Structure 1
Amino acid sequence: MESFESSDGHVIVRLDRGDMALESIERACEEHAVDTGAVVTGIGTFSTLNIHYVDRTDLPDEQSDRNVDLELEGAWEVTDINGVIANGEPHLHVTAFDGDRTVGGHLEEGCEVNVLGEITIRKIEGLSLERRAGEQNVSQLMQR
């Protein structure tokens, strides 16, 4: 992983074969002091795709009871990664295609880059956000 910062607050992250996507984005946020921001673009290929998604309309208090976890191997073409960074912590979603199906959900740790990845992070100055548990234990953005 290598990252580059422009004078206007954009951080470009290059992911190389074998890098872990979310872990590398977290590292880039730390290295470039991204407290509040947005991942505005993300593309690449993964050999391991770990995501979760909510598959129900009733929301039990325990997140493990409302989420479906997918751990998928193979050649995944990542068509989009985006989301918000609050208090330095990314909350990202991903869409990927393996030639037969398209899946999407919350990006989890352990997504290994197959060929490459390119991520654009936009720092947002003058705003400090964090996530706090809200109704039904749903993580909500709040101003600090």
Structure 2
Amino acid sequence: METFESDDGHVLVRLDRGDMALESLTDACEDHDVDTGVVVSGIGTFSNLNIHYVDRTDLPEDQTDRNADLRLDGSWEVTNVGGIVADGEPHLHVTAFDGERTVGGHLEAGCEVNVLGEFTVRKLDDLSLHREPGEHDISQLQRR
């Protein structure tokens, strides 16, 4: 991983083969003091894709029954990653294609970069956010 920071608060993150996407982005946020920010772009390829998505509308209280987890092997062309950093923790969504299907969802740990990854994080120094459980125990952004 290599990072570059502009004078106006943009952090560009280059991930190389073998880097772990979410883990590296979390490290980059820590290294560049990104407490609150926005991941405005992300592209690359992963050699595996770990995501979850909400697969129902009734939202049971037990969160383990709300999500479908996908652990997908093979080469995945990542066409977009975006999300918000709150309290230094990225909450990201991804869209990816393996040559046959397109999938999307919440990016989970364990996604290994296959060829490259390029991400842009925009620091928001004038705003301080964190997440707290809200209705149905859903993590919601709150001003700190």
Shift of 1:135: 0.4
- Written as runs of structure 1 = structure 2, the 5 A alignment for 1:1-144 is 1-144=1-144
SS in structure 2 of the partner of residue 57 of structure 1: coil
Paired residues in the alignment total 144
Moved over 2 A (4+): none
Shift of 1:63: 1.5
Shift of 1:60: 1.0
Shift of 1:62: 1.7
Aligned-pair RMSD on alpha carbons?
A: 0.4
Deviations 1:70-108 (A, max 9, x none): 000001000000000001010000000000000000000
Separation in 2, partners of 1:79, 1:39: 14
Separation in 1, partners of 2:71, 2:17: 19
Separation in 1, partners of 2:63, 2:15: 30
SS in structure 2 of the partner of residue 141 of structure 1: strand
Shift of 1:51: 0.1
Q: Which consecutive residues of structure 1, in runs of 5 or more, have no partner in the other structure?
A: none
TM-score (norm 1): 0.99
